[in-house]
Structure 1
Amino acid sequence: MNQALLRSLIPGVLGILVRRGADFAAAEDAVQDALVEAIRVWPDDPPRDPRGWLVTVSWRKFLDTTRADTARRRREELLDREPPPGPAPTADDTLELYFRCAHPSLTPSSAVALTLRAVGGLTTRQIAEAYLVPEATMAQRISRAKRTVSSVRFDRPGDVGTVLRVLYLVFNEGYSGDVDLAAEAIRLTRRLAAAIDHPEVSGLLALMLLHHARRASRTAPDGGLVPLAEQDRGRWDTGLIAEGVEILQAALARDRLGEFQAQAAIAALHADAPTAGETDWVQIVEWYDELLRLTDSPVVRLNRAVAVGAADGPRAGLAALAELDDSLPRYTAVAAYLHERDGDPATAARLYAEAARKATNLAERDHLTRQAARLNVRER
């Protein structure tokens, strides 16, 4: 069975049920029941119209549940409205589903889970494994999110920025379990780009592609992190880089700069450098300045301090860092890096060890511990 085809049909089928009058939570449950039926039936009896089959079975499952529901009065009219058989409507409701799943009333974690379930077509088990939580916990999270958005009216355009932030959260989760969330985020962002003409959607897609192009070089054989400057650039995916740069250039040409386009421009400059030493740090600092104008984010200021240290020297980087709150995540690690660049290995080793103790990610903690050990050995 073509699992990719099956998952690609889910948003359209779900959208049809919602337009017919089903509330979102009940419609999503019905579609999931129909998918289970499809997995059971299709291998031996594949339908000629997979989308139409899913619509018909999902609607019948919804009606079966509705008939058994105690809230019969509110849905009575729906029971007599089963449409005649025939080809399913071709209207694409994917965009509305993105907006519904990324609704501001949801927490980021709930919005991500609901997007992966309703738009991505992943099972609750797959999402739970990807986020390393019990399946029952994820089921409760998704159930609450569905109830929240079921009552949302869509009488005005949704917030594209919120949708993009949810997709970027998915991308940054990377990989765990049997679902590659980075690849899934790219797939969903491609679908969004096909549904809406917006330069920031293109900017996010370009950013994902440029980061994903370096994936194979980011970890050593023992699983340790490999910093950007030490990565084997021969292992970077030049096809993804070329595609990302092309998408970015088309977005920038529209002269509607947004934060994801600016981030993608920085990633493109890293990708364009044949070696770490040939990186155009001056231009990267300029793009960070643009990004600050758009967001004024402390994290962006932290990353800018690293770029300033590479462009103008570590003392300049430390001066930029001193303007920031030292409680920021990664602040101590950046300080360690800049002190090492400035020729102060003792201070750098102490800060690397401190940063390792603060790290919440095991791979990052191991990397920082190794950096501290390397400098301590050199000092003896």
Structure 2
Amino acid sequence: MNEALLRSLTPSVLGILVRRGADFAAAEDAVQEALAEAVRVWPAGASPGSAGEGHPVRDPKGWLVTVAWRRFLDAARADAARRRREDLFDEEPAAGPASAVDDTLQLYFLCAHPSLTPSSAVALTLRAVGGLTTRQIARAYLVPEATMAQRISRAKRTVAGVRFDQPGDVATVLRVLYLVFNEGYSGDIDLSAEAIRLTRQLAAGTDHPEVAGLLALMLLHHARRAARTAPDGSLVPLAGQDRERWDTGAITEGVAVLQAALARDRLGEFQAQAAIAALHADAPTAGETDWVQIVEWYDELVRLTDSPVVRLNRAVALGEADGARAGLSALSALDDSLPRHTAVAAYLHERDGDLVTAARLYAEAAGKAANLAERDHLTRQAARLNAHRPL
């Protein structure tokens, strides 16, 4: 049984059922049952050309469509409220090659519908497009399976009345995929790798430079993953990372994808973020980073998004390009309640030579940290500066 193959076929199989008239929630349940059946009956390592349950698996997609459609019809017949629909579908399609129409893009739009909360959109995308089970998604997000099942059920009910052929918003889909990517690794699912896989899939189905921009950004960030933590699990800041551990293959691919997107002259925020990541990747050492050009890209990002978080990151880059005082001046114009504001202030004060203020701010930032690894890193920074203070 080829799990990667099953997951890659999930969205197109689901799309076929919806186009045949099944409502999204019932179709998604039926597809999940078909996937479970494939896991049960396909031989280990099965691939096109092998057989399972007496059926040739020369057309895995057709096999899944047939089984899922039967599961949907069985459920419809068992439900008195669906008698009328059953009459419309009482002639079962013959098994054979599945439709070549790819509905994956529409499924992305449906799963990232604006009426869904971000957490629900992420869960539904992973289940309906990613082909993950509820248990896998629950483990990835470290919540009980029952909780995740309720979240997915609510999401499916929310989009049940949405027409499948309505145009969707690519920007919303990309935000959902970026949320998945930033969850990183937890449980038995590598969500960063899953987000890259889904974004590749989206890029194959739509001609949009921002999709390419997001894919490039993910690849460039993911390339640094191995160097982000020390053997003891502590965070390693970008400047201190061993660049020999960066994945040069992912960097090369990310830069190529980005260059192709930028050549279309339709700049968006993900392309601009990817350009910043590419400049970091291009520097042989932290000291050789082209901070002046990075500030210019942050200026583009501010123009595109007017985001306070972007302005915060720009203050850091400005501190590197023009000196800590310039960074602190830019920081003073921002709301000090912003996430990471205190940590950035600590860093810039340290670069400016004010170690007493920096140590105090590092300790304060540790108390506001969003996770244990970040808290430990900031605590260590405060302790390092305090250890060098004169008695």
CA contact (8 A) 1:67 1:79 kept: no
Seen in structure 2, the aligned counterparts of structure 1 residues 328 and 74 have a Cα distance that, compared at 3 Å, is farther
**SS of match in other structure, 1:183:** helix
Report the equivalent of 1:274.
Answer: 284
Report the TM-score when normalising by structure 2: 0.96
Partner of 2:4: 4
Q: CA deviation at 1:134?
A: 0.6
Equivalent residue, structure 2, for 1:35: 35
Which structure 2 residues correspond to residues 1-380 of structure 1 after superposition, within 5 A? 1-43=1-43, 45-46=51-52, 47-380=57-390
How far did 1:79 drift? 3.4
Query: Take 1:155 and 1:185, find their aligned partners in 2: how far apart are those partners?
Result: 24
Aligned to 2:47: none
* Structure 1, unpaired ranges of 5+: none
d(CA) in 1 for partners of 2:189 and 2:273? 26
Return the offset for 1:71: 1.0
- Distance (whole Å) between structure 2 residues aligned to residue 113 and residue 133 of structure 1: 12
The Cα shift of 1:87 comes to: 1.1
| TM-fit CA distance, 1:88 | 1.0
* Alignment TM-score, normalising by the size of structure 1: 0.98
| 1:155 shift after superposition | 4.3
Q: For the residues of structure 2 that align with 1:129 and 1:352, how far apart are their CA atoms?
A: 33
**Structure 2 CA distance, aligned partners of 1:355 and 1:29?**
45
- In percent, how many aligned pairs have the same letter? 84
Task: Confirm or deny: 8 A CA contact 2:202 2:211 kept in the other structure.
Answer: yes
CA distances 1:129-151 after superposition (whole Å, capped 9, x unpaired): 11111110000000100111111
CA offsets, 1:52-101, max 9 Å, x none? 11101100000111111131244133331311222111110100000000
Q: Deviations over 1:125-177 (max 9, x none)?
A: 11111111111000000010011111102444210000000000000000000
Contact 1:21 1:78 (8 Å CA) reproduced: no
* C-alpha separation in 2, matches of 1:301 and 1:121: 37
Q: What secondary structure, in the 3-state scheme, does the structure 1 residue paired with 2:107 have?
A: helix
Q: Could you say what the CA RMSD is over the residues aligned between the two structures, in angstroms? A: 1.0
Q: CA deviation at 1:193?
A: 0.4
The structural deviation recorded for 1:337 is: 0.3
Alpha-carbon distance between aligned partners in 2 of 1:32 and 1:85, rounded to the nearest angstrom: 19
How many correspondences in the alignment? 380
Aligned-partner Cα distance in 2 for 1:167–1:149: 18
1:282-315, Cα deviation, whole Å (9 max, x unpaired): 0000000000100000000000000000000000
Shift of 1:375: 0.6
